[in-house]
Amino acid sequence: MIHMHTVCLGIGSNRGDRQAHLEAAKARLGKLPQTELVDFSRAFETEPVGPIEQKSYLNAAAVIRTTLLPPTLLGFLHEIEKDRGREVAELRIRWGPRPLDLDILLYDDWVVDEENLTIPHPLMHERAFVLEPLAEIAPRAVHPILNKTVNALFAEIQEGS
């Protein structure tokens, strides 16, 4: 029997038709090979983070089940971003505006630290715009390093703000 991995993804857009980019991401995630889309949050409008002035974001989260290993999945996510108009990594402005951003937040209880891939996402526990949509669809997902649920992490951010 093939083992299916549960993966939580963060999704954001603040350039072009933001809702259309999120809907396209949802459609494409559901068509990835060896993958099923389990859930997709509603969109949350959030202010941008970082030093660059830009439009507000629409952020969402998705839960998928897949046999794809993290590097392969990341490659597919980068293809989806590129197809929606995202620049290749070398041409991007760090924390700049983007039509679509797809991040692997959690992959089962795995901890991965490679040059181009860190799981869990290294800043997810500090970002309400990541945790709020994820808490809607995967509140009991556990951060494998902090050993806290998404709900608990989101509550900590809310208490601190």
Phi first, then psi, for residue 83 (nearest 5°) are: -65, -25
Given 18, 28, 84, 98, the catalytic residue? 98
Cβ atoms within 10 A of the Cβ of 19, count?
A: 12
Does residue 28 have an active-site annotation? no
Given 15, 28, 86, 127, the catalytic residue? 86
Q: Is the pTM of this model over 0.85?
A: yes
Q: pLDDT tens-digit profile of 129-158?
A: 999 999 999 999 999 999 999 999 999 999
Cis status of the peptide bond prior to 48, with omega within 30 of 0: no
Query: Which pLDDT value is given to residue 5?
Result: 98
Q: Mean of the pLDDT values across residues 112-121?
A: 95
Query: Which pLDDT value is given to residue 99?
Result: 87
Query: Which pLDDT value is given to residue 24?
Result: 96
CATH of 5-160, one of 3.30.70.560, 3.30.830.10, 3.40.50.720, 3.90.1150.10: 3.30.70.560
Query: Which pLDDT value is given to residue 146?
Result: 98
- What confidence tier does 88 reach under pLDDT thresholds 50, 70, 90? low
Query: Which pLDDT value is given to residue 98?
Result: 78
Query: Which pLDDT value is given to residue 2?
Result: 82
Q: pLDDT tens-digit profile of 44-76?
A: 998 877 666 778 999 999 999 999 999 999 999
Given 94, 103, 108, 140, the catalytic residue? 103
Does residue 101 have an active-site annotation? yes
Q: How far apart are CA 68 and CA 85, in angstroms?
A: 24
Q: pLDDT tens-digit profile of 15-50?
A: 899 999 999 999 999 999 999 999 999 999 988 776
Query: Which pLDDT value is given to residue 51?
Result: 67
Q: How far apart are CA 92 and CA 121, in angstroms?
A: 19
Domain ranges of the chain: 5-160
Does residue 98 have an active-site annotation? yes
